[in-house]
Chains A and B, each alone.
Chain A
Amino acid sequence: MSNSLELPSYLEKSAAVSERFKKLHRRPVKLKVEDLSKKFETPKGELVALNQINLEIHRREFITVIGPSGCGKTTLIRILAGLDFPTSGKVKLEGKKMEGPGAERGMVFQDYTLFPWLSVKKNVMFGLEIKGLGSQKAEAEAMEWLEIVGLAKFAEAYPGQLSGGMKQRVAIARSLANRPEILFLDEPFGALDAQTRASMQAYLLKIWQNVDVTVLFVTHDLDEAVYLSDRILVLRANPGEIDELIEVPVPRPRDPGQFLTPEFLATKKRLEELIRPPELAQNEEIPMIRLTEVGDEVE
C-alpha cells in the first residue's frame, strides 16, 4: 500500500472529471428524495432506520450507497422502489410523487429472485408480457437483452441450472428489458465469489455505458463502489443519516487498471475512514494465543 501522505485529496479532480460532474449536475433530476425518514416499531422501542434523507439523483447517473451493516441501505432502496413506505418524506420520480412499486423502477435483489418455473427467456419476457407486449415481440426483445448480458445460449435453461453470476445477469436483463427510468441494485454481487464478482462488475459497467439508465447501487465493497460510481452516498448508522456524498474523482471510462491510481486509492481511503468502526482502528497489542505447545519461534 502506498503511503497516505503521497495520496492527493479525494476532493481533487482533474479538469476532465470536473467537467463531467458539471455536465452531470446540469442533467435533469431523475429521482428526488425529500426529508425521507423511516422508523420501525420494535419490541425494544422505536428504531430510526433512516433519518431526514435528502438526495437528488440525475439522469444517467451511477450512484452507490455504502455504509456499515444495519445503516438502512436496504431500507432506503426498498422505499425508493416502492416496496416499503416511508414514515415521512417523499420520493419523486421526475417530479411525480411515487407510491407503491412499478415497472418504471426496476430492482435487482441480492438473492437472485428469478422465477424458477420460467425459462431464462421467459423470465426476461415477464415484464414485457405483463405490459401487454405480444409474445413474439416480447421474445425478440428478451433475446436482445440476453445477448447484451451474454446469455443468449441459455435462453431455454431454467434458472436453477445457472450459476449465481449468470442468474444475476438474467435478473439485470429482466429489469432492463422493462426499460425502467431507474434501476436499483441491492448488493447484487454480494453472494458471488471474487472472480465472478469482478467480471460482473465489468458486465454492469459495460451495460451501463451502452444503455441510458440511471442506477442506484448498494454495496459493502469499497473497491466496487469506487470502481463503478459517479457519486457515493455514505450512510451512518443509528440513526441512518447521510454521512457524506462523495464525487468520485476517477475518470471514465473505467477499467480494472485504475484500482491503483492515486485518485482511486484516495477515495477508497476516505471511505475506509468513514466506515471503519473506530475501535478496530487502534492497533492494540494482543498476546498470541497458542493452540499447541510446540514451535515457540512462530509469530
Chain B
Amino acid sequence: MIKKKAKNKDHWFSIRKELPPARRTLLTACSFFLPLLVWITVSYVPFIWHPDIKLQLSADRVGVTTVFTAGDRMSKDFFPTFVEAVRQENRTTLDAQKKGKPLSGSRRDNIKKLRHLSPVGVANGWLENNQRQDDEKLFEIWKGLAEETLTSKAISLSKENLEIIKDNWRALSKATPTFNSKLYPTEALLKLIPQGVSSNPVYLPAPHEVIAAGWLDFNTQPDNGMPTMWERYRHSLSIIFWGFAYSCLLGIPLAILCGSFDFFSKLHEPFVDFFRYMPAPTFSVLFVAFLGTSDAPKIMLVFVGTFFQLVLVIANTTRLLENSLLEAAQTLGANRRQLLARVILPGILPNLYNDLRILLGWAWTWLVIAELIGEKTGLTGFIDTQGTRYNFDRVFPVIILIGLTGFFTDRLLFWLRNLFFPWTEDARQAPKGPLTRFVLSFRDRTAYFKKSDS
C-alpha cells in the first residue's frame, strides 16, 4: 500500500498533479527542443523525406525553354526522365559523329552548353559569382578538368560527366587551342548530364541555411536603397506600437465606462459587437484611400483590428469586478466618481493588464496584414518579396524574429505583472527568482531575503 503511494508520486502522468520541478524544467526544455530536433532530423537525414533533387549543374533539354540552374529543385520522380532525355540527346549527337555526319549546331548553343559547367567553377572558387558567363575563364576550367590539372572538390563530377568533359574538350581544343569564342566549333557539343543531391523542397530549408541567410540579411546593407532588416524591424515595431497605443487610449476608457454604466454599455456595445465581425482587412482599401499610402493606414488597421475586441474584453473584465466591493465602498461613503477612481480602476487593473497582454499578441497578426496594404513595408514586406522569389531560407529568420519578439515581450509583461500587482494571488504564489526579489527590494527592503511568502 505504502509502496504503491510512493510509486504514484513518481508517476509522469498523474491527473491534475504537478510534476517535481526538475521534471518540469526538463519538459519545458523539451517543448522547444523537440520541434527543433524534428526540423534538424528532417533536414539532415536523407531517407526521412527529401522528395526532391537539388541540381548541382545547370541543365536543359531540347524543346523546353526553361534552363534549370544549379540550386533548382526537381522531384525525384521526374529526375530520371530528365536525365534520360539529356542522355538521349547526347546519343543522337554521338551517333551522328560516328556516321561521319556530325550534327551542326550553332556556336551560341555550344557556348550555352559550356556555361552549364559554371556552377562547378563557382562552387570550387575558380569563378566569382558574377563571372558565370565569363567564357574565357570557363574555357580554362574545361581545359583544366579535361586535362586533369583541376579537380572539382566541391562537387564531385560523375564519371559520365568527366568523359563528356574530355570529349567536349577534344572538339573544342581542335577548333581553338587558345580561347577565342569566334573560333568555337559549330558541330554540336555534348551536354553535361544533370547531377544533383537529394534534398527537401525549397520551402523547408535546413537550419544552417536559415542561420546563414539570416546572418547575412541582418548584417548587410541592401543595395538599391532598401531599408536594412533592423530598420524594417523598427518600422514594424513602431506600427504595432502606435496602432495598439491608440487602441488602448480610446478603448480602455470607453470599455471601463461600458463595464460600469449600463448607459454606455447599451449605447456602444451592440455596435462594437457587430463591427467586430467585419474583418478589419476588408477596410484596408478604404484606409489607403483616405489616409494615403504612408504608415497611417497600417496603424489604422492595427487599431481597428484590436480596438473592438479590446472594448468588449475589457468591458467584460470590468463587469467581473465583484459587486460586493462596490457595495462595500458605497457603505463607506464613496460617490460615483470615487467608485470609478478608487474601486473599479484599481480593482480591474491586474486583469486589464492581462487582457492587454493577450490583445497585444493579436496585434501582431494585424501587423502582418497591415504591412501588406498600400506600400509593402517592414518585416512582412520582406517576407512577401522573398517568398515570391522562393527564398524561404531568408523568410524563416524573419518569421522566427517576429515569434521571438512576441514571446519575449509577453514573458516580460508577465513577469512585470507580478511586480506591478504584488497583492494578487498569482503574484503571491509565483516563485520569486533572484531578479524578482532584487526588484521587489526597492519597495520592501526585506523582500530580497524572503524566498516567497506563504
| Residues of A that sit less than 8 Å from B by CB | 81-83, 100-103, 105-107, 109, 111, 113-118, 126-127, 130-131, 158-161, 171, 174-175, 178, 184
Contacts and interface: CB of A to CB of B under 8 A. Distances in A.
B320 to A, nearest CB: 14
Nearest to A78: B327
Given A107-B327, A109-B324, A130-B338, A116 B423 contact: yes
Interface in B388-438: 421-425, 428
A111 B324 CA distance: 8
Contacts of B334: 130
A127 B332 CA distance: 5
Contacts of A105: 331
Interface in B163-190: none
Given A116-B423, A117-B423, A158-B423, A101 B331 contact: yes
Interface string B335-346: 000100011001
Given A111-B324, A113-B324, A115-B328, 20 more contacts: A81-B331, A82-B330, A101-B327, A101-B331, A102-B333, A106-B331, A107-B328, A115-B329, A115-B346, A117-B346, A117-B421, A126-B332, A126-B342, A127-B333, A130-B333, A131-B333, A161-B453, A175-B331, A178-B332, A178-B333
Nearest to A104: B333
Contacts of B332: 103, 106, 126-127, 130, 174-175, 178
Nearest to B348: A117
A111 B424 CA distance: 17
A115 B347 contact: yes
B96 interface: no
Given A160-B423, A160-B425, A160-B428, A115 B333 contact: no
Output the residue of A131, A158, A175 with the most chain B CB within 10 A: A158
Contacts of B330: 82-83, 100-101
Report the 4 A-B pairs with minimum CB-CB distance, sorted nearest first. A103-B333, A127-B332, A113-B328, A107-B331
Given A107-B331, A126-B342, A113 B322 contact: yes
Nearest to B345: A117
A171 B329 CA distance: 11
Nearest to A184: B331
5 contacts: A101-B330, A101-B331, A103-B333, A127-B333, A178-B332
A158 B422 contact: yes
A22 to B, nearest CB: 33
Interface in B253-289: none
A83 B324 CA distance: 10
A83 B332 CA distance: 12
Interface string B228-256: 00000000000000000000000000000
B450 to A, nearest CB: 12
Nearest to A110: B324
A216 B322 CA distance: 24
Nearest to A158: B423
A161 B325 contact: no
Interface of B: 322, 324-325, 327-334, 338, 342-343, 346-347, 349, 421-425, 428, 453
B242 to A, nearest CB: 30
B343 A115 contact: yes
A102 B11 CA distance: 57
B359 to A, nearest CB: 22
A48 to B, nearest CB: 24
Contacts of A106: 331-332
A114 B327 CA distance: 11
B331 A126 contact: no
B157 to A, nearest CB: 75
Nearest to A102: B333
Contacts of B424: 116, 160
Output the residue of A109, A126, A174, A184 with the most chain B CB within 10 A: A126
A107 B330 CA distance: 9
A169 to B, nearest CB: 15
Output the residue of B327, B346, B422 with the most chain A CB within 10 A: B327
Contacts of A117: 346-347, 349, 421, 423
Contact of A115 (B325, B421, B422, B453): B325
A111 B327 CA distance: 12
B178 to A, nearest CB: 89
Output the residue of B342, B349, B422, B453 with the most chain A CB within 10 A: B342
B324 A126 contact: no
B335 to A, nearest CB: 8
A174 B329 CA distance: 10
B146 to A, nearest CB: 84
A21 B425 CA distance: 48
Contacts of A111: 324
A118 B324 CA distance: 16
A158 B453 CA distance: 12
Contacts of A171: 328
B171 to A, nearest CB: 90
A103 B331 CA distance: 5
Contacts of A83: 327, 330-331
Contacts of B325: 113, 115
A226 B376 CA distance: 79
Nearest to B338: A130
Output the residue of B328, B334, B423, B428 with the most chain A CB within 10 A: B328
Contacts of A81: 331
Nearest to A126: B332
A161 B428 contact: yes
Nearest to A83: B327
Contact of A126 (B322, B329, B349): B329
A133 to B, nearest CB: 11
A241 B348 CA distance: 40
A175 B327 CA distance: 13
B259 to A, nearest CB: 17
A100 B330 CA distance: 9
A92 B333 CA distance: 18
Contacts of B324: 109, 111, 113
Nearest to B329: A126
Contacts of A130: 332-334, 338, 342
